[in-house]
Structure 1
């Protein structure tokens, strides 16, 4: 009884989900334009890498 209900729920949940499939469709950003993706990744990773250096510079120049 319980397993039949679980099976019905699982199959209906799968049937209701209608997401696009394929490479890059499940990401929170677009991979269609490679130059925009490159710029976005450079800004994202560059800010994380450069932040400690800018913080140290700010602290050293502070009076």
Structure 2
């Protein structure tokens, strides 16, 4: 049990990630309109694929 506690604390100390909301995401949330465009295109394409597949 003690070994697990030491390992997890050492991992936290060695991590080089920034702290704060949105800093650990794989995309930027700084530019809201660009995030909206990208998410809209992503979800629209996923929703449209079954309809295009059925039509063709």
TM-score tier by shorter-chain length is 0.7 to 0.9
Segments of structure 2 that go 5 or more residues without pairing to the other structure are: none
Task: Please tell me whether Structure 1 or Structure 2 has the larger radius of gyration of its CA atoms.
Answer: 1
* TM-score for both structures, normalised by structure 1: 0.71
Segments of structure 1 that go 5 or more residues without pairing to the other structure are: 59-63
* TM-score for both structures, normalised by structure 2: 0.79
| Greater RCO (CA < 8 Å, at least 6 residues apart) | 2
> What is the count of residue pairs matched by the alignment?
55
Quick one: which of 29, 43, 48 aligns to 1:45? 43
